[in-house]
Amino acid sequence: MPSCTFALKILPLVTGRFGSRASCPALAAVRALSCTAARCQLHNVKGTGALTGKVDRFGGVTVNLAEIGLPADISEKSFSTLLQDSLLQWKADGKVAVWLRVPISLSRCAAAASTHGFTFHHAKHDHAVLALWLGEGESRLPGFATHQIGVAGAVVDESNGKVLVVQDKNKTKNAWKFPGGLSDPGENIGATAVREVYEETGVRSEFRSLLSIRQQHNHPGAFGMSDMYIICRLSPVTYDINFCTQECLRCEWLDLTELAKTNETTPITTRIARLLLHGLERGFQHVDLTMEELPAVYSGMFYQLYHRQLPPTLKP
């Protein structure tokens, strides 16, 4: 019988037989065997006796417990021992932070990590991420994302000065607003506006520019976090309305002059209606923040930059 299994099997018998744990010589031997038991699970971990992870350019280490070959039944004590040895190695190597990605199936490892100073950073779907600052002074680790991004599309028909608006269903006030919703992870702002407009109204459109950004903190609809609400200008590709009756009470092409004056709307919608009227009268180059995609400093990646158009003489 393996020593680790033997220790676990005889422990209840020894404790019950001798009564007092503190004075039992046989129990001391059992404890030694239980320590062996805690370490015998670690022999199945890939590589050396320390956890392996990816080192980032800031001097931190990220360890994904789902990918390093931990035994599925590893105990909290065994993982604590392994983590302690790893922390000693990381500190000796001058690492400044450790990130632990812990799947739900190994949640007991999070409890073990907490005894070494780790705290929760965030959780998503099937895993949690814990963090520990090893550098000097107070922690300089960034906080998790704390905002939600809402995007609306103001679809303007420049031929007649009308804009597509909806009234949300199940609202205490049936105010006219631009169709929109939350941006999905990895989705560009313009794509969100086009998608949400089509899902709510049945009208297909194309992205033209960014018009405004509203920032609001402690938002009740964002679990008390901060909310960014972005309104884009879109041009219609189709005009027939087939709105979603589950989300919208009404949907119409409304004259911008009427939308700018009516009391059946919100302050932000009124302000954007006036901005769009100004664009129709003076030219949208005076109100648009156009988008240009540029290469990021990270190899192979790109970002979207929004700003007023530059004169041709200042363009690269």
Residues marked active site are found at 199
What is the C-alpha to C-alpha distance for residues 183 and 185, in angstroms, rounded to an integer?
A: 7
- And the tokens for 45? 């971990």
Give the C-alpha distances (Å, rounded to integers) separating 31 from 28, 34, 38. Answer: 5, 5, 10
Is residue 99 within 8 A of residue 60, CB to CB? The reply is yes
Name the nearest CA neighbour of 70 among 34, 48, 41, 35. 41
- And the tokens for 305? 């930059």
Is residue 154 within 8 A of residue 234, CB to CB? The reply is yes
- Enter the DSSP assignment of 237: S
- And the tokens for 153? 């599309």
Rounded to a whole number of angstroms, the distance between the first and last alpha carbons of the chain is: 75
Is residue 153 within 8 A of residue 234, CB to CB? The reply is yes
- Angle at 35 (CA atoms; ends 29, 36), nearest 5 degrees: 90
